[in-house]
Amino acid sequence: MAIKKESKIAEKSFEFALKIIQLYKELQADNEFLISKQLLRSGTSIGANVQKSSAAFSKKRFRTQNIKRIKRSKRNQILATIIT
């Protein structure tokens, strides 16, 4: 059951990354270079953290990776607020 939940998270983080990439391209076209690069880094790293946490060898490492994922999500919320 945990595998299905993790794959759902992986799927959603991948979809989110695709949306972030599209937004990045739009911001680049509008000459918003600084924020767009930060948004791209933090938005696409969520998926990487999902992959790392699913490969964790211990519960402690799994929690650490999930905390990183949450922090990246919060950073994306802040960047989205700044952009709008």
Q: Are 39 and 27 in contact (CB under 8 A)?
A: yes
Which residue type, as a one-letter code, is found at position 3?
A: I
Q: Tell me the pLDDT tens digit for each residue of 46-63.
A: 888 888 777 767 888 888
Which helix H or strand E contains 58, and what residues bound it? none
- Domain residues for the domain of 13 are 2-83
- Residue 59's pLDDT is what? 83
Rounded to two decimals, the pTM is 0.70
- What is the Cα–Cα distance from 23 to 20, expressed in whole angstroms? 5
The label of the residue with tokens 């990439």 reads: 21
Give the closest residue to 80 by CA, choosing from 27, 29, 7, 31: 27
- Structurally, how many domains does the chain consist of? 1
CATH number at residue 41: 1.20.1440.60
